[in-house]
Structure 1
């Protein structure tokens, strides 16, 4: 008899627990939420890009780098040379997070000939780094990574100038292409410009 009471009591306890807990599953949910986005030009996007030299200009809302003509009599870089351009354009972090920026050069025809060098790499090869500028040393291009240039950190609300070096040694012509700005915050992917 005690055994029968124990089994009935245990069964009642299990049934009551299942009724209290439920299964936790539901069939489906449909909910409507508002989503908004603006597509802003490069000048006012979260990663702002601003022309700061005759070699950067806007085509529509996008920044274009053009080293073919400076509208001052120059029509290109010298053959068999390394030419540097300081402060070609400015990058501004208009977003809420601190950013790490990488300039992906794989869209250029000769990515190893174009250099966008971060502060850390510059200091490693050249010592003191010019303030607020991505500016490469032309002393030793062999040490630079040929397809990407990590821009390092850019805090929210801050900006930096970007310098460009073009290595045309042993070249009489050099085609361009496209660069891609890959942007991440400290916690992972933030977007791409």
Structure 2
């Protein structure tokens, strides 16, 4: 009989202690968990990037090489952009929103490329049909609904470049761009 009173007493004490302590809220917690994320090629990612012209290609790692001015020879024999010129390349690549939410797409990290004191080029991407609106997050971002594909072009304005007698140039530039897809419009 004493055992039963003891168990009831302990149960009452535990219930009373929980009520006295409060709601169970805490100030801090640290918990270690495992996370698994599967990486996909650009074409299979939630924001798919796919080549749609001879001005872009997918590298052996499945990543879109958005633009390669050097080394592109077109069917007419051209081999790159000239100095002091502006170029619009429509339909260079396509962006498909394979996620579930509408996103705002833009590309950062492009802009003005310089070599010493010489401005070599100004580069930005744009939505086909809207050549004057850079998709850079400041001037513009393209809203892409879930399941929608948009065609993207590349604008290149070159500065004064020195061309050698063999047609090569001593001025070149390489850039790495960062592709963004955000729920909130960065231009607001």
TM-score, structure 1 normalization: 0.63
Structure 2: gaps (5+ residues): 1-14, 115-119, 163-170
Kept after mapping to 1: 8 A contact 2:131/2:155: yes
State the secondary structure of the residue aligned to 2:100: coil
Equivalent position of 2:21 in the other structure: 22
Matches within 5 A, 1:64-143: 64=65, 65-68=67-70, 69-72=72-75, 73-106=77-110, 109-110=113-114, 113-117=122-126, 133=128, 135-137=130-132
Q: Post-superposition shift, 1:22? A: 2.8
> CA separation in 1, counterparts of 2:21 and 2:149?
55
Contact 1:112–1:146, Cα closer than 8 Å, also in 2: no
Shift of 1:136: 1.4
Aligned partner of 2:160 among 170, 176, 182:
170
Asked if the contact 1:93/1:157 (under 8 Å) is kept, the reply is: yes
TM-aligned CA deviation for residue 150 of structure 1? 3.2
Q: CA–CA distance in 2 between the matches of 1:177 and 1:113?
A: 11
Change (3 A) 1:112 1:144: farther
Residue in 2 that maps onto 1:13: none
Distance 1:28 1:152, change over 3 A: closer
Whole-Å separation in 2 of the counterparts to 1:47 and 1:144: 19
**Higher relative contact order, chain-length normalized (CA < 8 Å, sep 6+):** 1
Count of aligned positions = 153
